[in-house]
Structure 1
Amino acid sequence: MCEDSTMVSSPVDVLKSNSKSDGKKYITSEELKKHNKPNDLWISIQGKVYNVTEWAKIHPGGEIPLMNLAGQDVTDAFIAFHPGSAWEHLTKLFTGYHLKDYQVSAVSKDYRKLASEFAKAGMFEKKGHGVIYSLCFVSLLLSGCVYGVLFSSSFWVHMLAGALLGLAWIQIAYLGHDAGHYQMMSTRGWNKFAGIFIGNCITGISIAWWKWTHNAHHIACNSLDYDPDLQHLPMLAVSSRLFNSLTSVFYGRQLTFDRLARFFVSYQHYSYYPIMCVARVNLYLQTLLLLLSKRKVPDKGLNIIGTLVFWTWFPLLVSCLPNWPERVAFVLVSFCVTGIQHVQFTLNHFAANVYVGPPTGNDWFEKQTNGTIDIACSSYMDWFFGGLQFQLEHHLFPRLPRCHLRSIAPIVRELCKKHNLPYTSVSFFDANIMTLKTLRTAALQARDLTNPAPQNLLWEAFNTHG
């Protein structure tokens, strides 16, 4: 680490000239921006500059969040994703330099104050009893599914069993989301176990894949070229700017808008719901591609074992049905019910504002308010949305257990009002209408055939891991 620090801080004379009478060494934001490469990666937190070049390789959140914010002050993002205990680990990464032109905006000051108040109140540690209730509910759903398949000969009972399985997968995904943000269990080790068990073993979707994409999504919320949650060509496009065949920084490949993509996107406002019904197939494929790739994956062995557990029990359960038509129908019903959740996830972002380019560390609060949409609902429906109807609140405070999101929503709304920032909260119905209008607008723009696109292969849409 010391060797790297010496190597990358070559403009010594410039840095010395920035020393002040207080004895501290300073660099400017422009000089910090130069340290934005994998082998030369610096960041600033509260005006102190850190060399995270080597740390990025073992960072629990992966390299991508650090790379996306490299060469910037990342104080707000650091506060959002890290507990107070993380601050002590920064000392060994300190370069000795401070940011000469370090400034804090008014909205960042309020955000940091709010985060501090939540921490002092112990809200990040108070998880409530939602996890226990959810686990009991999931157990009942899975038991009902297995009982319906094994002990009934009725076609409709079998279809009901498939629906129960789909509903269980929805609730399990919310639990996996909690575990992925280190909220669900009392220790990090138990969270890891919970994530692999309920993610890989029960749903067949790797928690490693989810964390890989989800961390990038949080950091680069609604960036067309940095946020993987908006990169669905050739099937879907939320903005005409994707028609320029942007390069996905996350996947490291071009998001080619060719004739095939133009065809699918032109009718996406019709195909949106059918695609959501079978979107789970793509998640299985993404999991397999990641785990079979040469990419370094945390706990790769455990993720592979967990995924194999799923592909053992699920086919066995399906095989217990009396014939192939019922087996296919059972799987489709379970997928279609889970499709409700895929719709929920897209409603939070598809109709929100998008941008092109990397995220920036000094407008954290602003980017989250512009890129997220809350779903307004009664408290008795919180189980249905898993807390993610408060999408903005979750993005601002991703470590905050879902049981607190409803209580902080009015505070966040007032903060947005104070700083003249958008706070979008609409009903589930209206969110669907907004999303369909967004897709329809892009679809009509895609039908303009004055700019023919080159042909490409459908496989590129799925082969994202190389």
Structure 2
Amino acid sequence: MAPQTGSTRKETRPASAFLQLFTWEEIRMHNGRGQGQEQWLVIDRKVYDVSKFSKRHPGGSRVLSHYAGQDATDAFTAFHKDKSLVERYLKSLLIGELAPDQPSCEPNKDKALVEDFRELRCSVEKMGLLRPNYTFFFLIFLHLLILDVASWLVVWHFGISFVPFVVGIVLFTTAQMQMGWFQHDLGHCSVFTKPKWNRLLQIVVINVLKGFPASWWNHLHHQHHAKPNCFRKDPDLSLHPKLFSLGKTLSVELGKKKKKFMPYNYQHMYFILLTPLTFIPFLQFSVFSIAIKKKNWLDVLLTVTFYIRSGLMYIPLMGFNNFVMYFWLCRCLESIWFAWVTQMNHIPMHIDYDTNKDWASTQLHATCNVKQSVFNDWFTGHLNFQIEHHLFPTMPRHNYCKVAPLVKALCEKHGIEYKSKTLLTAFSDIWHSLKDSGEHWLEAYLHG
């Protein structure tokens, strides 16, 4: 008798624990929007119902919802370093598996690319490229602490005349940026082999040393990695329709709907001016309301200690008014640095709604690299290797350069462009892509 499929029928099969069998068509129906808003996803041909668990998911509920009704095998592998830790949660969520006549790869995905990428992933693990170099990260942590202390020592020793004031700002800004890159490593569990040690040190770095809640960052950033450059799923795009029109699809859509929140045809000109005004209030004030709303009181308490520490260090040396100027000038420079580095790898790339492409295609079409150099590695926190970072988010950054040739070979084999630019070209491409998107909006606005 041929095996049956369906969400209401149990299958009697030896050695399968009476698991139900499902088709891809049935799974796609459980995408959180229908069937009682149930959320199913597939991992290694096993079907899991994450509808209730998503609210308890450490990476945030939306990461799971972004893959509802889809195959999440490669995303699951990419995000979870300690498989034994998460497998015990999966057992209680298991509801069935794909029917024998169903392909492991969804019909709309590039099966050859999926198989080759999974083979590459196995090679990466065998080569030990997911193991951190503790000496490297110790030196990273040490150098950012030295920069932070040096900013205070300059003001303490030389006073607040113009030159030491400016030097102190540069050092403090640089320290804050390097802390940002380091906490990013910790957030991806790439500094220690055990996830809990990464999370504990991340809380110290981002909450106490930088003044931002760790839970806020993790909630947003994991979504970005799950579906980069996908409208309604990548939170990095959530503010853009109000200020910027990104990508041809959204630009034309906004234009045809006669939406004009901003003069998007001039967005390439006001990007540099609005960046600090956008990032400062959003990152500095909104995060508190989010943490309070979610009742993450430990996050709030630890974040407040950053302001107490900074005030106690600098106010006795320069007074309250000078400290406010000092602090906000640093935040302004930091926001510009952060915005240009993080956006140079994504804004010039393909931006659209989620079309449920395979993991490798999704990441490769949404990211590009910047040429390697000692300065570029340090200045960007190794995010000049954005392609490798997105394909292997838990990989320690010192190994990006080692896996890059393998990724490039994979791209060449499958006819995918592996984009790598100079730093200045990457910055200028932000300007050009914003200009192009603005022109698409204007054309649709006037004639759509």
Which TM-score tier does this pair reach, normalised by the shorter chain?
A: 0.7 to 0.9
Q: Which residue of 1 aligns with 2:337?
A: 340
Q: Distance in 1 between matches of 2:326 and 2:132?
A: 42
1:219/1:359 contact within 8 Å kept: no
Give yes or no for the alignment of 1:276 onto 2:275.
yes
Partner of 2:183: 176
Q: How does 1:106-255 map to 2 (within 5 A)?
A: 106-153=112-159, 154-231=161-238, 232-243=240-251
Q: Secondary structure at the match of 2:244?
A: coil
Which residue in 2 is equivalent to 1:423? 418
Pick the aligned partner of 2:318 from 295, 318, 321: 321
**Residues of 1 paired with 2:30 and 2:444: CA distance?**
43
Q: Distance in 1 between matches of 2:19 and 2:335?
A: 56
SS at the partner of 2:70? coil
> Are 1:78 and 2:73 counterparts?
no
1:286 aligns with 2:286: yes
CA contact (8 A) 2:258 2:445 kept: no
* 3-state SS, counterpart of residue 65 of structure 2: helix
Residue of 39, 48, 64 corresponding to 1:50 = 48
Instruction: Report how far residue 213 of structure 1 moved.
Output: 0.9
Q: Distance in 2 between matches of 1:189 and 1:449?
A: 50
Q: CA RMSD in A?
A: 2.9
Name the counterpart of 1:386. 381
What is the CA distance between 1:95 and its match in structure 2? 1.4
Structure 1 distance, partners of 2:225, 2:204, is: 24
Q: What are the residue-to-residue correspondences of 1:23-42 with 2, within 5 Å?
A: 25-37=20-32, 40-42=38-40
CA distance in 1, matches of 2:235, 2:57: 20
Partner Cα distance (2:130, 2:292) in 1: 36
* Structure 2 counterpart of 1:312: 308
Query: In terms of mean alpha carbon deviation, does 181-190 or 105-114 score higher?
Result: 181-190
Q: Does the CA contact (< 8 Å) of 1:49 and 1:94 recur in 2?
A: yes
Q: In the aligned structure 2, how far is the partner of 1:323 from the partner of 1:282?
A: 23
What are the equivalent positions in structure 2 for 1:373-412 lying under 5 Å apart? 373-379=368-374, 381-412=376-407
**C-alpha deviation, 1:292, in angstroms:** 2.2
The alignment's TM-score, normalised by the length of structure 1, stands at 0.83
Do the aligned partners of 2:176 and 2:334 also contact (CA within 8 Å) in 1?
Answer: no
Amino acid at match of 1:344: V
Go from structure 1 to structure 2 and tell me whether the alpha carbon gap of 1:159 and 1:380 turns closer, same or farther (over 3 Å shift).
closer
1:19 shift after superposition: 8.0
Which SS does the other structure have where 1:129 is aligned?
helix
Secondary structure at 2:42's aligned position in 1?
A: strand
- Equivalent of 1:349, from 346, 350, 353? 346
Q: Secondary structure at the match of 2:205?
A: helix
Give the letter aligned to residue 298 of structure 2.
L
Which whole-Å CA distance do the structure 2 matches of 1:177 and 1:224 have between them? 23
Change (3 A) 1:128 1:192: closer
1:447, distance to aligned residue in structure 2 (A): 4.5
Distance 1:19 1:443, change over 3 A: same
1:59 positional shift: 1.5
Q: Confirm or deny: 8 A CA contact 2:244 2:262 kept in the other structure.
A: no
Structure 1, unpaired ranges of 5+: 1-8, 247-255, 453-466
Change (3 A) 1:21 1:426: same
Which amino acid letter does the alignment assign opposite residue 61 of structure 1?
Answer: G
Residues 381 and 129 (structure 1), Cα distance of their counterparts in 2 relative to 1, 3 Å cut = farther
Moved more, 214-223 or 196-205: 196-205
SS at match of 1:262: coil
Q: 1:194 to 1:11 in 2, by over 3 A?
A: closer
Contact kept, 8 Å, 2:265 with 2:438, in 1: the verdict is yes
**Structure 2 residues not aligned, in runs of 5+:** 106-110
Q: Which residue of 2 aligns with 1:102?
A: 103
Q: Is the 8 A contact 1:201 1:307 kept in 2?
A: yes
- After TM superposition, the score normalised by the length of structure 2 is 0.86
Q: Distance in 2 between matches of 1:65 and 1:322?
A: 45
Structure 2: distance between partners of 1:274 and 1:258 = 22
The equivalent of 2:67 in structure 1 is 69
Letter of the structure 1 residue corresponding to residue 297 of structure 2: G
